């Protein structure tokens, strides 16, 4: 199945929500006027695109309507698509590089966002791309986190470095680095704690892990990816803002996109944080992960 079709299938709920409102709006107006534009703006806001992002979209839309002398409501549809693609698409040279070993990927995110499953799916994807992958079970505080990661490591067919529950996460990452170097792994994927109730402690833990990675594995290409639950919509944006206060993020992994009707938040989060979405998960199976493609994402929302 092509990436476009996978996006289209996974975004069914978002498409039904957004497209249905668009179709109703376009059907109610014979010409573009202020009432039409105000209703369109309301649809974007209610679709979790966000107020500030919607304002930017509408400003560009009004400019293009005037410049191109558009007067039919249905002709607005492709204009919105183009504007949203420009907003969310990442230049090819900035796409997440699956090559360039050795690579360390530090995965962060709150408990329940799908962090563990994302690690397993990402490990599987990398292995399918002929990469030697190693996992480090750095979330040593959450009950059963190590065991759950072991299950996903087994499914993906990759090795895992772990210690007992309650161990120092940085110590696990240190062991993972030594093992990755000794085994000549292409990619080391590091799990981390997902507790947000004490931001200071979490910040200190993440900071310690990053320092160890940079000190012990300075030859590696180090990337930090934040995992967000798509079904939470605007709350996911709020989480990302919080994490950005104390973690340098290179990209986002969006989970459960197939179960969300709030796909519009993707535009808002990219616009607010200027952090690219690099992977999305599209289902429950281990192969249900794909590199993010902004144009395919937008087209799949508007494609009937």
Q: Is 21 exposed, middle or buried (0-12, 13-18, 19+ CB in 10 A)?
A: middle
pLDDT value of position 94:
58
Six-digit token string for 302 = 């508007």
Instruction: Render the burial of 60-91: b for 16+ CB within 10 Å, e for the rest.
Output: bbeebbeeeebeebeebeebbbebbeebbbbe
The size of the chain, in residues, is 304
Q: What is the dotted CATH code of the domain comprising 97-249? A: 3.40.50.300
How far is Cα of residue 48 from the mean position of the Cα atoms in its chain?
A: 16
The shares of helix, strand and coil residues in the chain, as percent rounded to the nearest 5, are 55, 15, 30
Note down pLDDT in tens along the chain; length 304 residues: 555 566 666 667 667 777 678 888 888 999 999 999 999 999 888 887 888 889 999 999 999 999 999 989 989 989 999 999 998 876 655 567 778 899 999 999 888 888 999 999 999 999 999 999 999 999 988 878 999 999 999 999 999 999 998 899 999 999 999 999 999 999 999 999 876 545 667 777 888 898 999 999 999 999 999 999 888 877 787 888 878 877 788 999 998 876 655 667 788 888 788 888 899 887 788 998 888 888 888 888 777 6
Please list the residues that pair with 224 across neighbouring strands. 106
Distance in angstroms (rounded) separating the CA atoms of residues 182 and 258: 39
Sheet strands side by side (includes 277-281): 159-161, 133-136, 187-190, 103-108, 221-229, 251-255, 277-281, 289-291
Question: Regarding beta strands 103-108 and 221-229, do their DSSP bridges make them parallel or antiparallel, or are they unpaired?
Answer: parallel
Distance in angstroms (rounded) separating the CA atoms of residues 280 and 282: 6
Please list the residues that pair with 223 across neighbouring strands. 105
Give the tens place of pLDDT for each residue, 226-283: 999 888 877 787 888 878 877 788 999 998 876 655 667 788 888 788 888 899 887 7
């Amino acid at each position: 199945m092509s990436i476009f079709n996978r996006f289209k299938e996974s975004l069914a709920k978002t498409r039904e929500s957004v497209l249905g409102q668009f179709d109703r709006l376009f059907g109610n107006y014979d010409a573009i006027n202020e009432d039409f534009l105000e209703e369109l703006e309301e649809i974007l806001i209610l679709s979790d695109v966000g107020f500030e992002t919607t304002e930017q979209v509408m400003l560009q839309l009004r400019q293009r309507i005037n410049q191109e002398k558009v007067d039919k409501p249905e002709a607005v549809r492709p204009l919105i698509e183009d504007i949203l693609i420009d907003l969310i698409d990442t230049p090819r040279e900035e796409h997440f590089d699956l090559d360039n070993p050795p690579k360390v990927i530090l995965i962060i995110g709150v408990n329940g966002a799908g962090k563990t499953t994302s690690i397993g799916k990402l490990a599987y994807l990398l292995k399918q791309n002929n990469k030697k992958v190693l996992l480090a079970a750095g979330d040593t505080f959450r009950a059963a986190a190590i065991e759950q990661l072991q299950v996903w490591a087994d499914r993906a067919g990759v090795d895992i470095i772990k210690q007992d529950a309650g161990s120092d996460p940085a110590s696990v990452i240190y062991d993972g680095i030594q093992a990755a170097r000794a085994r000549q792994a292409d990619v080391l994927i590091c799990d981390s704690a997902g507790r947000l109730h004490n931001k200071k402690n979490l910040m200190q833990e993440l900071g310690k892990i990053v320092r160890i990675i940079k000190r012990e594995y300075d030859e590696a290409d180090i990337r930090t990816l934040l995992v967000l639950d798509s079904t939470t919509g605007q709350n996911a944006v709020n989480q990302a803002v919080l994490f950005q206060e104390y973690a340098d993020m290179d990209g986002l992994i969006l989970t459960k996109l197939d179960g969300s009707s709030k796909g519009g938040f993707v535009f808002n989060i990219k616009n607010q944080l200027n952090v690219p979405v690099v992977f999305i998960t599209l289902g429950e199976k281990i192969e249900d992960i794909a590199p993010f493609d902004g144009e395919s994402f937008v087209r799949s929302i508007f494609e009937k």
